[in-house]
Structure 1
């Protein structure tokens, strides 16, 4: 979930790339022994270590760690890989603005809606087994793009890929913990995972734009098949199977999962229906009512279920609640801006896909440069203030972008830099803080909750911006170059969309930041009784 600034780690900037290589080598070295305080603060979880192979260093675990990182990378890349190809897909398949938004949103919808369910299934039937099934399904379904002839078929395929990806995302983080007994190694391995995931999310548009200059857009999905195969083999060779005694026998919360997907889906469709049928039309009102009913039903179900998909008592912890809320806000801003700028660069500016992809370099470079800043802010001010600074930067960037849309690329790039500082800060602090605040035997649930918040935000952000542009500009994207009048209209629609995001994201992200704790470390876990 984590996130869009991920394309930077594989940019053509050789200086940046060499820094990444040196950073990787540093992480792969054998760590010092953890301090007694750190060992006491993060108790070993027997469920993740008993009976499993324990590696003495990240270097020794390079096969399974690389496989898990590759699996996580392809999940995150697929969130944004097709965004750069949306104009091309729209022309090829004769798609409307709303159908293009669902090509992106369908993946996020099923991915986010099923993350918690997939985590529960993995805890019951085996984490390695479910991960391998997910990778196999992901690779095979990617081949089906060759049979796609309509946007409806592509949306269905993307939804299926989201389901397969949901079977891998939280499990990759859980299995990383299982590779090591040493807590310092676990923290370093999680750092590698977060860096790879964040790189993958933003690498999608750049990779997609580069590929589109040489091959058709279908290849953007076909490439998933060999990547999934490599990840499958690495997991098979390097990760031990789960032991039966380490798995739970809790009954799966199928109604809870169904209510989650129904609520998110209907909420997103309400926005689309408002444009197509009118805001007071029967379909719009019915879908809105259904979304509210599903949300209420989910809360009631989780409170009464003997084995809930999400134990709502966990949300009583302010850090868990604040981190999830802030992640929701940042993801809305991230995907909303990315979605609109793809159309901005390719349609309004008439740029080629690769040039539009390279236009994201401010995101990439700032994501890399902001790492020391994030660490400095947390060390000096604590999580709450550091996260608040990031949330304010995010809000300011949206206000800036609303002004910059018709002031040229340089001004837009300035907005990208401000936004990335906010995104990098909030998303890193919240990801570490949320998992850190979870009971030591529920860290995989924390990872799933973090990803779920991000994917829900992605669905809402895509639906909001896509719907506003469709309502204010044009429902069906015209073929060929845009007229000056249409470009001006699009800029106006972008401006309104960014202002709407500014208000929504500002409230959600700032409120989440204010709810965070004041910890200045990443080495405290709460006991189960504390939650």
Structure 2
């Protein structure tokens, strides 16, 4: 029987790069994402035509432009924008953004739904999310089967269909009780696991052998961006459609009805946005049938 090594073997120098940290690029990316998300959330509070909102929007655009300008000119960029010339890299990153928008939007919306509209305790509300967690674990073989059977492009399109269809289903289910919601939580997670798994494999596999860490970081960054955008969008829509300040304690029937109506519209909008973004990214993938994150 092989024995476990006493230590992690040293990296092969040929697989490493000597690039320095791109601190200006990191700062500009944080500024662009932060100001962009703040713009989405501040519009409801201050008004979409207010000075702070416009200043934030302009700041986000300027920071994004400066980031792109800097990354194209620095000899050691944090993110080599040339990698996006590869359709697989570009498509996988875009689709990952779509999945994270869906996941963040649903998680944010349903926590409010369970704890405030239903009046459940935090423990019960947490347990209500078990369909998401269990399906995320059990759906891995299905996502691998789809990739091997149809290839990355078609399998990812199927996953995107699950995402959009499940969000549309949740828009209907919000006022039809927890069992209806749980069904679409399961189908949503099948779509999440399928797209997330395939895109992670495709993105890392498209990178040169000494740049796979960049592929992993890009995959994670795309998910983080999608999570930030999804949370900001669903929070903004609920604030705009329901109320800017959700009262603590048990809600009255009028507020619950208003929340369900706002949630229904928000999930329907997410269904369109996530469907477009995820399918757009999926169609850029190739027909690889790989299921391991290795180049």
TM-score by length of 2: 0.94
Q: Which of the pair has the greater relative contact order for Cα pairs under 8 Å at 6+ separation?
A: 2
Question: Cα offset for 1:275?
Answer: 0.4
Question: Cα offset for 1:476?
Answer: 2.3
Q: What number of residue pairs does the alignment pair up?
A: 295
Helix, strand or coil at the partner of 2:151: helix
Helix, strand or coil at the partner of 2:210: helix
Question: Cα offset for 1:475?
Answer: 2.2
Question: Cα offset for 1:477?
Answer: 2.6
CA deviations on 1:310-351 (whole Å, 9 max, x unpaired) are: 111111111111111100000010011001101100111111
Distance 1:448 1:482, change over 3 A: same
- 2:86 alignment partner in structure 1: 317
Distance 1:448 1:407, change over 3 A: same
Residue 362 in 1 paired to residue 96 in 2? no
- C-alpha RMSD over aligned residues: 2.1
CA contact (8 A) 1:272 1:463 kept: yes
- 1:286 alignment partner in structure 2: 55
Residue 440 in 1 paired to residue 220 in 2? no
**Aligned equivalents of 2:17, 2:149: Cα separation in 1:** 41
Unaligned regions of 5+ residues in structure 2, if any? none
Question: Cα offset for 1:414?
Answer: 1.2
Question: Cα offset for 1:412?
Answer: 0.6
* Residue correspondence of structure 1 range 376-387 to structure 2 within 5 A: 376-387=145-156
CA deviations on 1:81-100 (whole Å, 9 max, x unpaired) are: xxxxxxxxxxxxxxxxxxxx
CA contact (8 A) 2:16 2:210 kept: no
* Residue correspondence of structure 1 range 131-280 to structure 2 within 5 A: 238-239=7-8, 248-280=17-49
CA contact (8 A) 1:437 1:524 kept: no
- 1:473 alignment partner in structure 2: 242
- 1:351 alignment partner in structure 2: 120
Residue 303 in 1 paired to residue 72 in 2? yes
Distance 1:356 1:238, change over 3 A: farther
Helix, strand or coil at the partner of 1:432: helix
- 2:171 alignment partner in structure 1: 402
**Aligned equivalents of 1:439, 1:522: Cα separation in 2:** 18
**Aligned equivalents of 1:362, 1:473: Cα separation in 2:** 27
- 1:457 aligned to which of 215, 226, 241: 226
- 1:521 alignment partner in structure 2: 290
- 1:417 aligned to which of 167, 170, 186: 186
Question: Cα offset for 1:493?
Answer: 1.5
- 1:497 alignment partner in structure 2: 266
